[in-house]
Amino acid sequence: MAQSAVSATPLPSAPEALVPISLKEIAPWAVFGGILMLILLYFVGAEQGAVAVLSGETVHEWVHDGRHLLGFPCH
């Protein structure tokens, strides 16, 4: 029977200090994310019929299941 080599466990290192992130650094990314979410919400919730930006049923078919999952009526 061969014995397996015992692996040495690494010693725990000192925790790194957390650097706070300022609001000025987060704000542009939060605005960008908010705009993307509003665009996504528009395409899932309102892109059909009279208020459609794009003609046809393509966008509606791509987001159809998500529309029902989020509770938007479409039929």
Average pLDDT, the chain: 77
Q: Give the number of residues written for the chain.
A: 75
Contact 59, 47 (CB under 8 A): yes
pLDDT in tens, 49-62: 656 666 667 777 77
In one-letter notation, the amino acid at residue 35 is I
pLDDT in tens, 16-63: 888 888 999 999 999 999 999 998 887 777 766 656 666 667 777 777
